[in-house]
Amino acid sequence: MFGRRLVDDRVRKLTAQYSHSWALVHGKSDVVVIDADLKKGKNGQASLDMLEVMYGPLPETSVVISPSGGKHFRFQATNYCRHIFKLNFGGDLLPNNAKSNLDSPHYTLIPGNRFAAGSYRLVDRTPLAPAPAWLAEVLGEDRRRAPGGPLEPACELDLDSNIAAASEMLSHWARVHPAIEGQGGDAWTFQVACMVGDLGISEDTCRDLMLELFNPFCIPQWEVEGPSKDLMATKIRSAYSSRESPVGCRTAEAEFAGDSPEPIKLTPADVEAANRVQDEREQARILAAELAQEESDV
């Protein structure tokens, strides 16, 4: 990857040459961006604070500062969260549904663009972190499926081998990273359900496995009956219904699906070239052995 200074210099030169601004198109670049207006008197910071209280801190990622002081938090799109255009998201978390000053635009200008008011600057060289799963929920209002229903599974669901793999994964995460209320537990439970689906597990089996292996370690445990009803089932249903990739996308069955590849057909010229390379390597080996023998005789 080009160094930050080299990229900035190239953008500045292109801007001067063509009198255009240069931008990152989020959807085509597999990037998700939170555009936060943090100027005094705006609600961008308060909105971010409320989101982090509910879902946990934003992961460290690439951040660009605009001339007005706004920040673009840039994330790599994932199977669970991809770009969706939405303005003023998170406003429902503020008093009186105030304007949140948080947007997910189609594009943002990149570092190196300069204007009279200032330039767009990259804060540091932190790589793009995967988009947090909870962002899909925040943007979920507009993430509707096209007519035709959910995606077809990428493999046969609930195979014994995949259930074993999902059980092992759940047992691991339950112990090293349990879902804790007030520390992003909701978002983490959502993401875990997404990962279970990746392994070719149906929604019903996902619920059974998470109740058995994951829920006992949650703080507090998810309620499955009573006045609140089955909140974990609701979270799992949300994870499965908002998928952008089919259930089972990370299984061996999906990875190696389809016909076997065609065998490679070598031409006579290919065979001749391969034999020539083999002869040259053999000659080099013999020469190296002779030189080693001469050195040992000295």
pLDDT for 278: 74
pLDDT tens digits for range 49-59 = 888 888 888 89
pLDDT tens column, 36-72: 887 777 778 888 888 888 888 889 999 999 888 889 9
Q: Residue 15: which residues within 8 A CB-CB, separation 6 or more? A: 21, 22, 112, 113, 114
Q: DSSP E strands: which ranges in the chain?
A: 23-25, 31-36, 62-65, 71-76, 102-103, 107-109, 114-115, 118-119, 121-122, 129-130
SS3 content of the chain, % helix, strand, coil (to 5): 45, 10, 45
Whether the pLDDT of residue 3 is over 50: the answer is: no
Mean pLDDT of 74-100: 78
CB atoms within 10 A of CB 84: 21
**pLDDT tens column, 252-294:** 777 665 544 455 556 777 667 767 777 777 777 777 777 777 7
Residue 110 CA to residue 57 CA, distance in Å, equals 24
Say whether pLDDT at 200 is over 60: yes
Q: In this structure, are residues 12 and 112 in contact, taking their beta carbons and an 8 Å threshold?
A: yes
Distance, in Å, from the CA atom of 287 to the CA atom of 298, rounded to the nearest integer, reads 17
Unique residue bearing structure tokens 């001339």: 67
CA 124/CA 133 separation, integer angstroms: 24
Indicate the length of the chain as a whole number: 298
Query: For residue 136, what pLDDT is reported?
Result: 83
Instruction: Give the pLDDT of residue 141.
Output: 43
Choice between 14 and 283, residue whose per-residue pLDDT is larger:
283
Q: pTM to 2 decimals?
A: 0.48
Which pLDDT belongs to residue 10?
Answer: 57
pLDDT(134) > 50: yes
pLDDT of 226 reads: 62
Mean pLDDT of 70-99: 79
pLDDT for the residue 260: 46
By DSSP bridging, strand 62-65 and strand 118-119 are unpaired
